[in-house]
Structure 1
Amino acid sequence: MLLGFKTQLKLNNQQRTALARHAGVARHAWNWGLGLTKSILDHNQLHPEDKIKFPSAIDLHKWLVALVKSEHPWYYEVSKSSPQNALRHLRATWDRCFKKTAGAPKFKKKGRHDSFELGGAIHTALTSIIKYNNNTW
């Protein structure tokens, strides 16, 4: 049996800003990873003799650290798990797409279902509600 709890928080302006930063970094990592993976798929479709291996979530995160974080210092103002989990979810979405159980992932827009995940156990949406999933038996 899986249990979940929703808790509404009363946040001040600093806390709202911190949550918005985490959601923004997660959205940026998702959109960056989605753009990169779509360009790899396009390249592989146009050049079947010179295919590039489709990256895992770990590969995407390594590239994110090497290429993007140096250009965007605001990545260091938030938890490292926020972009990691966004890339993990992106790869899982691509896996579902390849198995034909879901469609291709889409780019995320600011202000529309902003959310992020910290540490795998806490999922936060910017509506001031925290969902804690207790998956222990």
Structure 2
Amino acid sequence: MLLGFKTELHPTNQQKTLLAKHAGVARHAYNWGLWLTRNILNHNQHNPDSKLKFPTAIDLQKLLVAMVKPKNCWYYEVSIGCAELCFEVFIRSLEALF
């Protein structure tokens, strides 16, 4: 009976660099999304008359492209799917929290 597979990666130095870049972009995008949503929640708490819409994963991606990517050119060195997946996971975690 086969219970599972063990997989071991042996990346080259170039592949290690790419893996680190993808991890860095995912970390930065997640932290940026967390910062933005915390600011929106604080604004909505202190200003109940003028509440801001809570962003979806697509909204976060559009804002990232408009606000963050022009300032951080290293975002273009990795796949765009890295940040997209990060925001999907981020929104799912927020939905589980609330």
Tell me the TM-score normalized by structure 2. 0.93
Which residues in structure 2 correspond to 1:1-137 (within 5 Å)? 6-98=6-98
**Distance of 2:8 and 2:90 partners within structure 1:** 27
**Distance of 2:4 and 2:29 partners within structure 1:** 27
Query: Residues 4 and 33 of structure 1: is their aligned pair in 2 closer, same or farther, counting only changes over 3 Å?
Result: farther
More helix by share: 2
Q: Max radius of gyration: which structure?
A: 2
Tell me the secondary structure at the aligned position of residue 67 of structure 1.
Answer: helix
Between Structure 1 and Structure 2, how many residues are aligned?
96
**Distance of 1:44 and 1:7 partners within structure 2:** 46
Alignment RMSD: 1.4
Structure 2 unaligned regions, length at least 5? none
More strand by share: 1
Q: Give the Å deviation of 1:94.
A: 0.7
Q: Give the Å deviation of 1:63.
A: 0.1
**Distance of 1:17 and 1:36 partners within structure 2:** 28
Tell me the secondary structure at the aligned position of residue 16 of structure 1.
Answer: helix
Look up the equivalent residue of 1:41 and give its one-letter code: L
Tell me the TM-score normalized by structure 1. 0.67
Query: Residues 10 and 75 of structure 1: is their aligned pair in 2 closer, same or farther, counting only changes over 3 Å?
Result: same
- Percent identity over the alignment is 55
1:64-91 C-alpha deviation (Å, 9 max, x unpaired): 0000000000000000000111111111
Query: Residues 51 and 5 of structure 1: is their aligned pair in 2 closer, same or farther, counting only changes over 3 Å?
Result: farther
Q: Give the Å deviation of 1:7.
A: 2.1
Query: Residues 4 and 79 of structure 1: is their aligned pair in 2 closer, same or farther, counting only changes over 3 Å?
Result: farther
